[in-house]
Amino acid sequence: MNKLGIIDYRNIIKTVKSTYSIDFNDFAMTSFKRKLEQIIIKNKLGDADGLVYKIKVDKNFKQTFLNEISIDDTEMFRDPSLWRELKYILNKEKNRQSFKIWFPEVSSGEELYSFLILLKEINLLDKVKVLVTSFSDKNIEFIKKGVFDIKKMEVNNANYLRYSLSGNLMNFYSKNNNKAYMDLSLLKNTDFKNYVSFKGDLISNFHMIFFRNKMIYFNKTLQMKMLRIITNSLYLGGYFVIGIKEKFDNFSAISKFNVLNRYENIYKKII
Amino acid sequence: MLRKNNYKAIILGGSAGSFQVVTKILASLPKSFSIPFFLCLHRLKHVRSGFIEALSIKSILPVIEPNDKEHIRKGNIYLAPANYHMYVELGNIFSLSTEKPVNHSRPSIDLSFFSASYAYRDKLIGIIVSGANKDGALGLKSVKDMGGLTVVQDPKECQVKTMTTAAMDSTNVDKVLSTDEIIRFLRRLA
């Protein structure tokens, strides 16, 4: 297949918006275009017109599209030192009556499971309420099953060891037929909802929002909008965690936050 | 005839083993060198710091690991951060991505080269130096296909030739140069 041109790219986004009511216009172009190209190849649609036609006429294609356009989390305990820092911070929040956490736009769940493991380790799993949202039902099904390729667990195990310095990630999953089955009791206080976080409606208020390496797939316009949504969804004193290479210093909404840790990019809402 | 105003960016790909070559190049670029220079080097995924510090010691120009959506500025050397793909978007900004590794690599040289060739077309110079896998070959082909200038380090000089020979097999490269020749070539652009 030839690379998508700008006109084709815009046309696909317009079709997705009118058919699925999700606007991807302000996604970062390079990665989104690449995902579209992969979807065309994987589903043998030939070219941009083939994809547009498929979206318009095949109602069952919606869930495939929304699943395949999502970008998976890379690995569990990515950036091990971040998780150590989070453990320290959450330990200080232990005496709260309630603690609500939002994971928007989750696609494959590695970050979620890392977080739940951390909560279990500090005996907070029973006290928190976690909300996981995604625009894809298939993503939600995948995360609920908690089954990962055993090959991917090598890096997860290595990261876990770097984070915990001792201990073994295998305490939280079992192996069978080249698959890793996560301990699903980790999910006991986690709710799932099909939801488009970047549309602009507010879903609830939270004490922590975990949104690492997700806004890198947005352009600046959508990043600014999403930062406002996140700011308005956090309680005063709430935490906001982003990827280590994400930076929003030029956005006015960031002035409502204190940087708790610049290296790990953990913010606290102070106004 | 090479005119320096023709080129808006330079992108170089190699693996960790090309560290000596890259530092030699960076050490020889003068302060007046104003074309943004992107480095996409295979490196350990989980080691966040150290690499950029080591490159900075030798480099006259500032070496930066860009944040997502950072503006590309003249006179800077940009290094793809560990465990992210580094893209050039239209509008002279970077995007980072955590998409799956390509050729077992994140950052992937191919992906960086694809995006840069799309953004800069014939105003891009692509360079492939010593490396241990074929990542970069399709990327360099893309630079060539979009009208950019392609340079490969002479495989005779490389301890590991896989990357350079794969790049030469993928497209009809414009120049095959030794490290010293690459340096002379780049200095003429300053």
Q: What is the pLDDT of residues B37-49, one digit of tens each?
A: 999 999 888 888 8
Name the catalytic one among B18, B28, B42, B110. Answer: B42
Confidence (pLDDT) at B65: 97
Chosen domain end from A69, A101, A117: A69
B69 contacts on A by Cβ (under 8 Å): 28, 216, 219-220, 223, 247
Asked if residue B45 lies in contact with residue B22, where contact means CB atoms within 8 angstroms, the answer is: no
Please give the Cα distance from B81 to B107 (Å, whole number): 7
pLDDT at B187 over 90: yes
* E runs forming strands in chain B: 9-14, 37-41, 63-64, 77-79, 85-89, 93-97, 124-128, 149-153, 175-177
Express each pLDDT in A252-265 by its tens digit.
Answer: 999 999 999 999 99
Confidence (pLDDT) at B45: 81
Mean pLDDT of chain A: 95
Please give the Cα distance from A67 to A19 (Å, whole number): 16
Does residue A74 lie within any of the structural domains? no
Chosen domain end from A26, A48, A69: A69
Closest approach of A223 to chain B, Cα-based (Å):
10
Of B69, B87, B99, the CB nearest to A71: B99
In chain B, which residue's Cα lies nearest the Cα of A215?
B68
Verify that A94 and A221 share a domain, yes or no: yes
Contact call for B95 and A31, based on CB within 8 A: yes
Confidence (pLDDT) at B22: 96
Query: Which secondary-structure segment (H or E) carries B186?
Result: helix B179-187
Going by their DSSP bridges, the two strands A266-269 and A257-261 should be labelled as antiparallel
Q: How confident is the model at residue A250 (pLDDT cuts 50, 70, 90)?
A: confident
pLDDT at B60 over 70: yes
Q: How confident is the model at residue A101 (pLDDT cuts 50, 70, 90)?
A: very high
pLDDT at B3 over 80: no
Domain count, chain A: 2
Task: Tell me whether residue A154 is exposed, middle or buried, using C-beta atoms within 10 angstroms of its C-beta: 0 to 12, 13 to 18, 19 or more.
Answer: exposed
pLDDT at A73 over 90: no
Give the Cβ contact number of residue B126 at 10 Å: 33
How many residues comprise chain B?
Answer: 190
The sheet with strand A179-182 has its strands ordered as A147-149, A179-182, A173-176
Confidence (pLDDT) at A212: 97
Does residue A17 lie within any of the structural domains? yes
Express each pLDDT in A130-164 by its tens digit.
Answer: 999 999 999 999 999 999 999 999 999 999 999 99
Verify that A60 and A94 share a domain, yes or no: no
pLDDT at A113 over 90: yes
Verify that A20 and A144 share a domain, yes or no: no
Does residue A36 lie within any of the structural domains? yes
Domains and CATH numbers, chain B: 4-187 (3.40.50.180)
B100 contacts on A by Cβ (under 8 Å): 72
Among A85, A245, A261, pick the best mutation site for testing chain B contact (most B Cβ within 10 A): A245
Least-confidence region, from A33-42, A111-120, B5-14, B84-93: B5-14
Confidence (pLDDT) at A200: 86
Task: Determine whether B32 is an active site residue.
Answer: no
Verify that A173 and A235 share a domain, yes or no: yes
Confidence (pLDDT) at A30: 96
In chain B, which residue's Cα lies nearest the Cα of A158?
B46
Verify that A29 and A112 share a domain, yes or no: no
DSSP chain A: -PPPPHHHHHHHHHHHHHHH----TTB-HHHHHHHHHHHHHHTT--SHHHHHHHHHH-TTHHHHHHHHHS-----TTSSHHHHHHHHHHHHHTTT-S-EEEEE-S-SS-HHHHHHHHHHHHTT-TTTEEEEEEES-HHHHHHHHHTEEEHHHHHHHHHHHHHHHSS--GGGGEEEETTEEEE-GGGGTTEEEEE--GGGS-----EEEEE-TTSGGGB-HHHHHHHHHHHHHHEEEEEEEE--TT---TTSGGGGGEEEEETTTTEEEE--
For residues A206-230, give the mean pLDDT: 97
Verify that A62 and A119 share a domain, yes or no: no
Task: Identify the sign of the CA torsion B151, B155, B157, B160.
Answer: positive
Contact call for B95 and A80, based on CB within 8 A: no
Verify that A122 and A240 share a domain, yes or no: yes
Closest approach of B21 to chain A, Cα-based (Å):
27
pLDDT at B14 over 60: yes
B92 contacts on A by Cβ (under 8 Å): none
Verify that A149 and A46 share a domain, yes or no: no
pLDDT at A1 over 70: no
B70 contacts on A by Cβ (under 8 Å): 247
Q: Considering only CA atoms, which of A118, A92, A114 is closest in space to residue A268?
A: A92
Looking at residue B131, the DSSP 8-state letter turns out to be -
Confidence (pLDDT) at B5: 58
% of chain A surpassing 90 pLDDT: 92
Query: ipTM of the assembly?
Result: 0.95
In chain B, which residue's Cα lies nearest the Cα of A162?
B46
For residues B31-57, give the mean pLDDT: 91
Confidence (pLDDT) at B4: 52
Task: Determine whether B110 is an active site residue.
Answer: no
Confidence (pLDDT) at B2: 57
Chosen domain end from A40, A69, A98: A69
Q: Domain of residue A52: give its range.
A: 6-69
Verify that A121 and A203 share a domain, yes or no: yes
Name the catalytic one among B85, B110, B135, B154. Answer: B135
Those residues whose C-beta lies under 8 Å from the C-beta of residue A14, and which sit 6 or more positions away, are none
The sheet with strand A128-134 has its strands ordered as A190-194, A128-134, A99-103, A206-210, A234-241, A266-269, A257-261
Asked if residue A153 lies in contact with residue A180, where contact means CB atoms within 8 angstroms, the answer is: yes
Task: Determine whether B135 is an active site residue.
Answer: yes
Q: What is the CATH number of the domain that holds A106?
A: 3.40.50.150
Confidence (pLDDT) at A2: 64
% of chain B surpassing 90 pLDDT: 88
Does residue A43 lie within any of the structural domains? yes
Of A80, A216, A219, the CB nearest to B96: A216
For residues A15-27, give the mean pLDDT: 98
**Inter-chain Cβ pairs, chain A and chain B, closer than 8 A:** 66
For residues B95-110, give the mean pLDDT: 96
Verify that A180 and A46 share a domain, yes or no: no
Verify that A135 and A240 share a domain, yes or no: yes
Does residue A126 lie within any of the structural domains? yes
Contact call for A78 and B83, based on CB within 8 A: yes
Of B45, B70, B98, the CB nearest to A213: B98
pLDDT at A23 over 80: yes
B66 contacts on A by Cβ (under 8 Å): 245
Verify that A103 and A236 share a domain, yes or no: yes
Contact call for B83 and A216, based on CB within 8 A: no
Confidence (pLDDT) at A95: 87
Closest approach of B33 to chain A, Cα-based (Å):
26
For residues B116-142, give the mean pLDDT: 96
Asked if residue B87 lies in contact with residue B79, where contact means CB atoms within 8 angstroms, the answer is: no
For residues A228-241, give the mean pLDDT: 96
Please give the Cα distance from A40 to B16 (Å, whole number): 34
Asked if residue B138 lies in contact with residue B103, where contact means CB atoms within 8 angstroms, the answer is: no
Does residue A75 lie within any of the structural domains? no
Confidence (pLDDT) at A203: 86
Q: Could you tell me the pTM of the whole model?
A: 0.96
Those residues whose C-beta lies under 8 Å from the C-beta of residue A262, and which sit 6 or more positions away, are none
pLDDT at B18 over 60: yes
Asked if residue A111 lies in contact with residue A80, where contact means CB atoms within 8 angstroms, the answer is: no
Confidence (pLDDT) at A3: 81
